[in-house]
């Protein structure tokens, strides 16, 4: 007989499936936090390493040895032969293929001690920017740049991609974005890493699963699409017609709307402020296009809580920091892998395998 259990929302929207002490999103308030700290506040005032220590260990006071360990683990060797092959794959698959090589794989998390899992999670997340930068440069006919363990994680990411030392101004743009996207509740990629971890799988495999989830344009690929939208619209006076045309044919307007926020997305507010501080034609156009787009969307769906999400200004800020559009989603991957590292450790420490049920809606079976 077909199940009569109460159906859950599509996509498990709003269903609480686990406990976490890492952070939470309060969508109705337009607020999210890491541990007990306002996430936007720490994004504006802390280093990426401090926030990494916060989500992983619960304190912003990152010891020198913790910061040094991140730098040391970032300085992995990417074998040229493996890079040649990986660079022929889409970026996320190239990263997935190389991470087990540069981190030397890992034992099943269920067989590791707490300390071993922490070390493996740090090593995996720390290697992500080095591998992604090497892949990016290789695809563009450039030699990879070895990591510099003495630099901050955000600064070294910019250096390894561009080949030159980033300015303080560029780091001050990108680091808050990266901190602000370290974690954001049980989003698709974070949930994926926890599901895989719950099977007792190795840490690297669980985080590679998160990378695969993040590759989807509905999750991690929109910053470049939002920037492309701004460029395609051009003059802000074209916004109303451009947006209405796409709404009429059922297209999604990238950079607007969010599954959780019913008040302003605080990440978008922070990035808008950073962009306005930089100024320039692109920023001026983005601000006006945002205003006009929201007006059209609110007229199209009166009363709906439509907000500008993090992706609209993410591309604007990263472009201002000199990052190529092809590096927007990889930058997101560098930061979100830090959050995954904390969730993998938390899940494994108090593990119960995820085993939900599905509601059968097919034809009744024969006797």
**Which sign, positive or negative, has the C-alpha torsion 278, 280, 286, 287?**
positive
Alpha helices, H only, 48-148: 48-57, 64-74, 80-86, 91-102, 114-139
Clarify whether 311 is annotated catalytic: yes
* CA–CA distances in Å: residue 177 to residues 15, 46, 162, 190, 337: 28, 12, 18, 18, 14
Question: What are the start-end ranges of the E strands in the chain?
Answer: 23-26, 31-34, 37-38
> 53: which 2 tokens?
């220590």
- Which residues on neighbouring strands pair with residue 38, listed in sequence order? 33
H/E segment holding residue 41: helix 39-45
Which of the following is catalytic: 138, 311, 343, 346? Answer: 311
Clarify whether 37 is annotated catalytic: no
Which of the following is catalytic: 136, 170, 258, 343? Answer: 258
Cα atoms in the 13 Å half-sphere on the side-chain side of 164: 7
Q: What is the CA radius of gyration of the chain?
A: 21
* CA–CA distances in Å: residue 302 to residues 41, 258, 293: 32, 16, 14
Q: Give catalytic residue positions.
A: 258, 311
């Amino acid at each position: 007989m077909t199940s009569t259990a109460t159906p859950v929302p599509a996509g498990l929207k709003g269903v609480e499936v686990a406990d976490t002490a890492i952070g939470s999103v309060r969508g109705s308030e337009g607020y999210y936090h890491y541990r007990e700290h306002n996430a936007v506040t720490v994004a504006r005032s802390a280093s990426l390493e401090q926030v990494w220590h916060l989500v992983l260990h619960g304190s912003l006071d990152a010891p020198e040895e913790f910061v040094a360990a991140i730098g040391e683990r970032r300085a992995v060797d990417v074998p040229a032969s493996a890079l040649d092959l990986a660079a022929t794959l889409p970026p996320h698959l190239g990263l997935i293929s190389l991470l087990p090589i540069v981190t030397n794989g890992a034992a099943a998390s269920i067989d590791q001690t707490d300390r071993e899992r922490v070390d493996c999670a740090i090593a995996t997340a720390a290697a992500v920017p080095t591998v992604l930068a090497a892949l990016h440069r290789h695809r563009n006919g450039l030699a990879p740049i070895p990591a510099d363990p003495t630099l901050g994680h955000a600064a070294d990411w910019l250096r390894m991609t561009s080949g030159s030392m980033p300015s303080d101004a560029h780091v001050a743009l990108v680091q808050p974005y990266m901190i602000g996207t370290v974690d954001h509740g049980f989003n698709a990629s974070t949930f994926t890493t926890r599901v895989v971890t719950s099977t007792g799988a190795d840490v690297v495999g669980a985080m590679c699963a998160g990378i695969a989830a993040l590759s989807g344009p509905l999750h991690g690929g929109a910053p470049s699409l939002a920037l492309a939208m701004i460029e395609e619209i051009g003059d802000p006076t074209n916004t109303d017609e451009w947006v209405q045309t796409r709404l009429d044919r059922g297209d999604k307007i990238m950079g607007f709307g969010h599954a959780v926020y019913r008040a302003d997305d605080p990440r978008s507010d922070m990035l808008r402020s950073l962009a306005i501080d930089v100024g320039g034609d692109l920023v001026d156009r983005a601000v006006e296009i945002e205003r006009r787009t929201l007006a059209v969307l609110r007229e199209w769906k009166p009363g709906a809580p439509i907000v500008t999400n993090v992706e609209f200004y993410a591309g604007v800020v990263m472009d201002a920091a000199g990052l190529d559009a092809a590096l927007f989603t990889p930058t997101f991957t560098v930061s979100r892998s830090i959050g995954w590292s904390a969730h993998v450790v938390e899940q494994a420490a108090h593990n119960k395998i995820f085993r939900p049920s599905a509601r059968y809606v097919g034809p009744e079976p024969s006797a």
